[in-house]
Structure 1
Amino acid sequence: MNDQIFETVVTTVAADGTPHIAPFGVRYRDGHVVLMPFKPSATLDNLRTTRHAVLNLTTDTRVFAGAVCARWLGARSWPLLPVQSFAGQRLANALAHSELALLHDNDHAERPTLTLRRVLDLTHAPFPGFNRAQAAVIEGAVLVSRLQMLAPGKIDTEMDYLQIAIDKTAGPEEHEAWGWLREAVARQRVQAGVGA
């Protein structure tokens, strides 16, 4: 049986207070949150330094797309607010967030397993329901995060299929996020010398 993975956004801060925002697939086990970051990782470094993180639940898929496209299109900033339990920050547009403390750090050469306990859970807005375009943007963001690992043909086939959900159900935010993903693919192809 596969572990269920939930797509979230994790915010951490460096020792100097600089915030870091990263899309993260997380697992929930025995009431705890489990992260398995690949090394190297700013999220991992920050968590090991401060021992805290914030789990953000948002339907604004621009956060996911913006983070993975930063390599090709430049960084985007998202409004943040302070959290209550420690010197951390959360997404201002989060529907809900959980303030987390590092409980266990099982190191590994490539991908440590970090178990975090929930310190505080807060809800800020109601969940409006699922949107197929939001799911398509998240899947597209996963593909863009793996552009250097996957064959261009696979990327094209999957992006073309996801385009159907964008065309049928996307709102302005999803269209904007999808545009960033398509642009990132095109720029990566130019940089790699591969025909788009």
Structure 2
Amino acid sequence: MNDRIFETVVTTCSPEGAVHVAPMGVRYAAGEVVLKPFRPSRTLDNVTRTRTAVLNLLTDVRVFAGCVTGRHDWPTLPVAGVDGAAAVRLECAHAHVLLRLLALADDAQRPTLRLARVHEVQHSAFPGFNRAQAAVIEGAVLVSRLHLLPREKIEGEMACLQIAVDKTAGAPEREAWGWLQEAVARQPAAALGEA
């Protein structure tokens, strides 16, 4: 069976209020949101300590590409958290969903967090994704796995995605794609799965 994963951006805050922005694939199950972050994870640490997260639905793919290439500072706005916990949403989000931790199934590598939808707000109409935006999101997933995948796989898939970027990208998508290409170029061959 196909595991349906939806690419989103999750914002969390530490108990001290430090903001963390992370692209994450989420699953939806019986009205809940399921996160499975790999350890170590600031998202995991923040959610387990505050029991709060915010799911951001957006089309500005620079956030996805930026976060996996070291650009973590994105404009946020405060939202009312769970039980007084600090919470923020991305300013560019078309919608956000405030989440409260229901359960944690611990695992040494990849714990499972089940979260309840507490409050949902639509900020603007969701226009849909163009092909370049989808390519940037897929490229960001590849870049997040540079240390796991063989170089030829990364380069081959990036070349295929380049076609959609060339045909349909606007300035934001071209900027995001450039960040991803730089990340691949910087990665030593040995780290890309070559001996």
On the 8 A contact 2:81/2:98 being kept in 1, the answer is yes
Distance 1:194 1:142 in 2: 16
Q: How does 1:89-128 map to 2 (within 5 A)?
A: 89-128=88-127
SS of equivalent residue, structure 1 residue 143:
helix
Cα-to-partner distance string for 1:51-101 (whole Å, 9 max, x where unaligned): 00000000000000000011xxxx341100001244200000100000000
Structure 1 runs not aligned, ≥5 long: none
- State the alpha-carbon separation in 1 of the partners of residues 6 and 35 from structure 2: 11
Equivalent residue letter for 1:6: F
Contact 2:150 2:192 in 1 (8 A): no
Shift in Å at residue 16 of structure 1? 1.0
Equivalents in 2 of 1:43, 1:182: separation in Å?
26
- Give the corresponding residue for 2:66: 66
CA RMSD, Structure 1 to Structure 2 (Å): 1.7
- Distance in 1, matches of 2:45 and 2:117, equals 20
Query: Is 2:161 the counterpart of 1:165?
Result: no
Alignment coverage as a number of residue pairs: 191
Match of 1:3 in 2: 3
- Between the aligned residues of both structures, percent identity stands at 62
Divergent runs of 4+, >2 A: 189-195
Q: Deviations over 1:5-57 (max 9, x none)?
A: 00000000012100000000000000010000111100000000000000000
Residue 77 (str. 1) matches residue 76 (str. 2): no
Give me the whole-angstrom Cα distance separating, in 2, the residues matched to 1:99 and 1:32: 12
SS class of match (1:186): helix
